[in-house]
Amino acid sequence: MRRFQFSVDVAHAKSVNETFTELRRLRSSAALTAVFLLALGAWFLWIAAPWSYILGAVFLIGAATSLWVMLWAPRKMGSIESQYAAGDLVPAVVAEKLPGGAILLALVDIAKPEADEPHYVLITRVVRALPGHVVELGAQVPAVTVLADRGRNTGGRTWQLASAMPIAWGTTDPVVIARAVEEITEGEWALLHANIGLSEKVRRAKNQQLLIDPADLPDDLR
């Protein structure tokens, strides 16, 4: 594991960090869904027919589930600072340019702590903004991992979900970004640059993860 410590600019992160923007969208969507289902449930209960009681209970359970998602999601994710502190420092490069952003290609170890060996995969992430970086093909974008499973008690020795959160979403200091770039080995950057053309294949792969042959890894990652 390779941690990268720096002082997170919380105000900057809240304005540009798309991981937390997605969380806010999820919470807003869950809240609207809860209100809609609650209203439907109350209406069916008001009808006061045997069949309507059943439907009303179903919609009220759905409303409660949506409220739980709204409250549980931020607790699971934690603070911006904790996300950067918990993730491993990984390399990512701009693999494709989009009209409204870019697609990053990242090299991530998805092995869980109890695994006997690393499990390196390529992943992609669509980003709208990369402050502090020139958005051009091959641009180096140091990031930290965000790893999770789809649910509890999933088992397995690898994480099901993997994403990369750019360091530039947590700071405006170019010195910090440059230090992160330097702490990633040349071999890792070279591997990503050699595989930029695989970004579309990665997006079509299972879990959007493409396993790297251990023989293709830099010596320090084997």
pLDDT digits (tens, 9 = 90+) for 132-168: 898 999 999 999 998 877 655 566 788 888 889 999 9
Place of tokens 């869904």: 33
Q: What is the pLDDT of residues 39-91, one digit of tens each?
A: 887 888 888 878 777 777 887 787 777 666 656 655 555 578 888 888 899 99
Q: Say how far apart CA 154 and CA 28 lie, in whole Å.
A: 27
Instruction: Kindly indicate the confidence band of residue 120, based on its pLDDT and cuts at 50, 70 and 90.
Output: very high
**pLDDT score at 167:** 95
Q: Which two tokens stand for residue 177?
A: 């970004």
Q: Say how far apart CA 188 and CA 4 lie, in whole Å.
A: 16
Segment 181-193 shows an average pLDDT of: 95
Dihedral sign (CA 17, 136, 122, 209): positive
Residue with more model confidence, 89 or 13 = 89
Q: Say how far apart CA 56 and CA 125 lie, in whole Å.
A: 40
Say if residues 120 and 109 touch (Cβ distance below 8 Å): yes
Q: Say how far apart CA 72 and CA 69 lie, in whole Å.
A: 5
Helix 50-77 to helix 18-47 angle (10° resolution) is 160
Q: Say how far apart CA 99 and CA 89 lie, in whole Å.
A: 28
**pLDDT score at 187:** 93
Residue with more model confidence, 19 or 162 = 162
Residue 136's contacts (CB-CB under 8 Å, 6 or more residues apart) are: 94, 97
DSSP secondary structure string, 135-184?
A: --TT-B--EEEEEE-SSSS--SSB-SEEEEEEGGGT---HHHHHHHHHHS
Q: Which two tokens stand for residue 119?
A: 């499990």
pLDDT at 2 over 80: yes
pLDDT at 181 over 80: yes
Say if residues 91 and 108 touch (Cβ distance below 8 Å): no
CB-based burial label for 94 (10 Å; 0-12, 13-18, 19+): buried
pLDDT at 94 over 80: yes
Place of tokens 């999933």: 154
**pLDDT score at 209:** 92
Residue 210's contacts (CB-CB under 8 Å, 6 or more residues apart) are: 121, 122, 123, 198, 201, 202
pLDDT at 26 over 80: no
**pLDDT score at 13:** 83
